[in-house]
Every structure is written in C-alpha cells, then in structure tokens.
C-alpha cells in the first residue's frame, strides 16, 4: 500500500486505539454510584481516582511524546496498550480505596496518555493537505467512546457488577489495542532521506525543544488547553450522576453520554472541515466561547429532553475544538518535535481535566448540588476563549489556516 493510501490506515488505527483507551478510562463515571454503594467508598474518594488519572496523564504526556519522537509512535502506543489492559484488570480486584486510586488513577491514566499525543502527532506528519480533517477523524474515534464503551460498561455492570464489568473492559482493551498498535508507522517525512527535503517547508526547522517550550505560542496553547479542558471536565464526569439526582434512571442517564458522543462526531467532522477552510485559530476560538455557554446551560435543566439538547451542544463544541490544538501546533513548530509539543499541550489539558472530577465531587458533597460546578466551568471557558483571542503565530507557520 502506498504512503498516500496508508495514511488513512493510520487515521483508522488512531481512532480505534483512542476509542478503547478513552472509553476504558471514562467507564469510571458509569461505575461511580454503584461502586460507592457496593464498597462504602465516598463519591469524592472514587472521583479522586479520575483526578489522579488526569494528573498521571499530564505527567506522562510529554514523556510518551518524546518517546514517540525518538523511537516511533508504534513503540509508545504498543507499550501503553499492554499497560492499560493489565492495569484495568488489576483495578477490578482492588480491595481498598487507596489501592483503586493508585491502580486506576496512576497506571490507567499514564497508559492512556500513550495513545493521544503519539497518535495525534503521528497523523499530523502523514498529512500535508486535509490535516485538520485527518486529526479530527482520529479524535472522532476517541469520541466514539461515549457511544460504545459507556453503554457497554453499563450493560456489563448490570450483569456482572462493577468488578466483572471492569475486568471485561480490560479483556476487550487487550484484544483490540495490542494488534492495532502494530499497524502504526512513522510518517514518511521522518524516515529515509525525506527529512532533509521536508525541512525546507518546516516552521523554524532549526528550533530546539528547549527553545520551543519557552515561546509565547507554546505557553498560550498550554493555557488555552488547560482552561478548555477545565471547562468540560466536570460536566463530562458528573453529568450522569447529576441526571440521576434529578430523578432520571441510571440506564437513561447514561444515554446523555451517547448524545454527547453522537454530537461530538458531527462536531469533529465539522470543525475539521471548517478548520481547513476558515483557519484553525478562528474556528477554535469561536467554538470555545459557545462551549462555555453550553456548560452553563446544564445548571438550568432537570429533565431528560433538555439534558439531551444541552448535551448535543456541549458535545459538538468540546469534541470539535480539541483536535484543532494539534493543527495549531503543526503550523507553528517543526515536525521533528510534534510528539513532544503535542504532549506538552496534552499535559496542560490533562491538568485541566483533573480539576473536574475532584472539584465536582467536593461541590456536590458540600452543597448537595452540581450548579456551582457548572457556573465555575463557564468561567474556565471564558478564560480559554480570551487566551486564544490574544494568540499570535510568529514562528514561520501559516496563522489562521492549516498547512496546505
């Protein structure tokens, strides 16, 4: 298969790997209340495992990205796949809350990071045209998790309890992720004689990683990604529980995730096409503003129909915006360090994601309501928007549009 054709295999592999990895980690919200009832562990304590997971993702993202730059993305994603499946199996046997927090949080969080930055960076190297769409399609695979893994987790939960369900997800992860990891390859521009020829078209090809991480562009992208992820972290993690507190049965509440996921598929495709045509920066900034308004709307709904409506807007926006950060990275930094720089922005995003599970749980335990969490999320969304309004590209890339 030619390199031009094989790039779509890379997209498909990245989408499937992301779907299973993200789905495994985000199965925890489905298990949250049943775990608390079965074990006596607090909602805040279990939610802390997710916070630890995002912190572990943050700590590991740049390391996995650097490993991918040095040894190729296959090494990173294969290792991460093995660790994720084993960690999920071990977490299903946890006998104490602290053991569960370490196994699920540290190991699953760190291994999930092995998929995101290496695969997104890998895809940006395979595409010179239609780059925003390609990255969005990989992200769309990750967005399939709410429509596939979450309902599967709920189905397994009803039949086998949370421990059996978690073990089943571990088996699925191993069966799918390990073989698919073997399909991943370096971008042609990073192999053979191509790098020298490609360097002429690179933004600041002489830049070192140390120089890159000190630029205003890198710092701005990290801040924007942090605030963006802090915006939707709490709503993603706690909305099923919030819906249940409004009297919606668990099986129906989980379908809110499915609506978010379905809308997110449309958002990723739409934002990918618009990013290529109208410019990633412009589309991303507008999307962040609408996302902020969307999460605020959750505070004013209490029945299933309005939950679906808000979930559709929020899912469309947060899913559509996330891939465009990698496009901005590619426009402003050389290909040779894509794994490391994308890993850096992913690290900031993971730190933002770590705020929602813990803070949301603390808000609910203290106030008996999730409304203050949604209001705080709105503030984070405005902050992300303002950071990107001030963003300026000055590294020799092509600001305002994807590379063609």
pLDDT digits 0-9 by tens, 159-190: 999 999 999 999 999 999 999 999 998 887 76
Q: Which two tokens stand for residue 132?
A: 């925003």
Element (H, E) at 145: helix 145-181
Task: Establish if 300 belongs to a structural domain.
Answer: yes
Task: Establish if 49 belongs to a structural domain.
Answer: yes
- In terms of pLDDT, which residue wins out, 52 or 86? 86
Give residue 103's pLDDT. Answer: 92
**DSSP codes joined into one string, 162-222:** HHHHHHHHHHHHHHHHHHHHTT----GGGSTTHHHHHHTTSTTTT--HHHHTTSHHHHHHH
CA atoms within 13 A on the CB side of 387: 22
- In terms of pLDDT, which residue wins out, 217 or 43? 217
Decide: residue 230, CB within 10 A, 0-12 exposed, 13-18 middle, 19+ buried: buried
- In terms of pLDDT, which residue wins out, 189 or 366? 366
Which one of 101-105, 265-269, 336-340, 349-353 scores highest in mean pLDDT?
101-105
Task: Establish if 404 belongs to a structural domain.
Answer: no
d(CA 338, CA 307): 38
Give residue 354's pLDDT. Answer: 78
104 contacts 49 by C-beta, under 8 angstroms: yes
Listed as own residue / partner, the contacts of 163-166 with beta carbons closer than 8 Å and 24 or more positions apart are: 163/92, 163/93, 164/92, 165/27, 165/31, 166/27, 166/31, 166/88, 166/89, 166/91, 166/92
What's the average model confidence in pLDDT over 191-201?
Answer: 51
Q: Which two tokens stand for residue 116?
A: 């995101």
Task: Establish if 397 belongs to a structural domain.
Answer: no
State yes or no: pLDDT of 400 exceeds 90. no
Give residue 404's pLDDT. Answer: 34
57 contacts 353 by C-beta, under 8 angstroms: yes
371 contacts 234 by C-beta, under 8 angstroms: no
Give residue 300's pLDDT. Answer: 93
d(CA 181, CA 199): 28
State yes or no: pLDDT of 402 exceeds 50. no
Which one of 99-103, 116-120, 127-131, 146-150 scores highest in mean pLDDT?
99-103
358 contacts 236 by C-beta, under 8 angstroms: no
d(CA 386, CA 399): 17
What's the average model confidence in pLDDT over 73-101?
Answer: 94
251 contacts 373 by C-beta, under 8 angstroms: no
Task: Establish if 362 belongs to a structural domain.
Answer: yes
Task: Establish if 401 belongs to a structural domain.
Answer: no
179: CB partners within 8 A, 6+ apart: none
Expressed as residue numbers, the domain containing 16 is 3-189+201-389
Mean pLDDT of the chain: 86
State yes or no: pLDDT of 201 exceeds 60. no
Task: Establish if 259 belongs to a structural domain.
Answer: yes
120 contacts 77 by C-beta, under 8 angstroms: no
Count of domains forming the chain: 1
d(CA 44, CA 359): 9
Give residue 205's pLDDT. Answer: 66
- In terms of pLDDT, which residue wins out, 251 or 89? 89
Task: Establish if 182 belongs to a structural domain.
Answer: yes
81 confidence band (pLDDT: 50, 70, 90): very high
What angle in degrees, to the nearest 10, is found between the helix axes of 250-278 and 145-181? 70
Return the SS3 of 130.
coil
Give residue 296's pLDDT. Answer: 95
Decide: residue 205, CB within 10 A, 0-12 exposed, 13-18 middle, 19+ buried: middle
State yes or no: pLDDT of 197 exceeds 50. no
Pick from 85, 72, 22, 88: nearest CA to 339:
72
Q: Which two tokens stand for residue 61?
A: 């993202």
Q: What is the pLDDT of residues 314-335, one digit of tens each?
A: 999 988 898 899 889 888 888 8
State yes or no: pLDDT of 396 exceeds 90. no
State yes or no: pLDDT of 110 exceeds 80. yes
Q: Which two tokens stand for residue 233?
A: 């972290």
Measure the CA dihedral 374/380/314/270, to 10°.
Answer: 180
Give residue 277's pLDDT. Answer: 86
Q: What is the pLDDT of residues 6-46, one digit of tens each?
A: 888 999 999 999 999 989 988 888 888 889 888 888 888 88
What's the average model confidence in pLDDT over 133-144?
Answer: 82
397 confidence band (pLDDT: 50, 70, 90): very low
What's the average model confidence in pLDDT over 211-233?
Answer: 92
Which one of 163-172, 234-243, 389-398 scores highest in mean pLDDT?
163-172
Q: Which two tokens stand for residue 351?
A: 């730190």
Q: Which two tokens stand for residue 105?
A: 């949080």
> What is the share, in percent, of the chain residues with pLDDT greater than 70?
92
d(CA 126, CA 284): 22
Report the CATH number that the domain containing residue 302 is assigned in CATH. Answer: 1.20.1250.20
């Amino acid at each position: 298969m030619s390199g031009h054709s094989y790039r779509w295999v890379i997209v498909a592999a990245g989408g499937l790997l992301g779907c299973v990895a993200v789905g495994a980690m985000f199965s925890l919200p489905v298990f949250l209340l049943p775990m608390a009832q079965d074990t006596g562990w607090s909602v805040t304590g279990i939610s802390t495992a997710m916070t630890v997971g995002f912190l572990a993702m943050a700590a590991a993202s740049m390391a996995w990205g650097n490993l991918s730059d040095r040894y190729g993305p296959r090494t990173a994603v294969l290792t991460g796949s093995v660790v994720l499946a084993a960690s999920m199996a071990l977490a299903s046997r946890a006998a104490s809350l602290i053991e569960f927090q370490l196994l699920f949080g540290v190991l699953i969080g760190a291994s999930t990071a092995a998929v995101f930055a290496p695969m997104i960076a890998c895809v940006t190297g395979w595409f010179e045209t239609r780059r925003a769409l390609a990255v969005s399609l990989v992200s769309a695979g990750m967005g399939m998790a709410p429509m596939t893994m979450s309902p599967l987790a709920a189905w397994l939960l009803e039949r086998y309890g949370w421990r059996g369900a978690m073990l089943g997800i571990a088996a699925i992860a191993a069966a799918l992720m390990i073989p698919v990891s073997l399909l991943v390859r370096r971008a042609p521009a990073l192999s053979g004689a191509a790098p020298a020829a490609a360097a002429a078209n690179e933004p600041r090809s002489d830049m070192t990683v140390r120089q890159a991480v000190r630029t205003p562009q890198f710092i701005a992208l990290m801040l924007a990604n942090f605030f963006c992820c802090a915006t939707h972290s709490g709503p993603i993690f706690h909305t099923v529980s919030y819906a249940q507190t409004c009297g919606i049965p668990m099986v129906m509440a989980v379908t809110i995730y499915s609506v978010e996921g379905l809308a997110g598929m449309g958002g990723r495709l739409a934002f990918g096409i618009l990013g290529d045509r109208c410019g990633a920066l412009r589309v991303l900034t507008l999307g962040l503003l609408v996302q902020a308004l969307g999460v605020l709307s959750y505070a004013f709904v209490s029945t299933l129909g309005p939950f679906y409506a808000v979930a559709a807007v929020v899912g469309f926006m947060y899913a559509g915006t996330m891939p465009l950060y990698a496009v901005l990275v590619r426009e402003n930094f050389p290909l040779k360090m894509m794994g490391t720089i994308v890993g850096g922005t992913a690290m900031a995003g993971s730190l933002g994601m770590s705020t929602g599970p813990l803070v949301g749980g603390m808000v609910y335990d203290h106030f008996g309501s999730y409304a203050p969490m949604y209001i705080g999320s709105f503030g984070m969304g405005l902050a992300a928007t303002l950071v990107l309004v001030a963003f300026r590209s000055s590294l020799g890339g092509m600001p305002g549009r994807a590379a063609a």
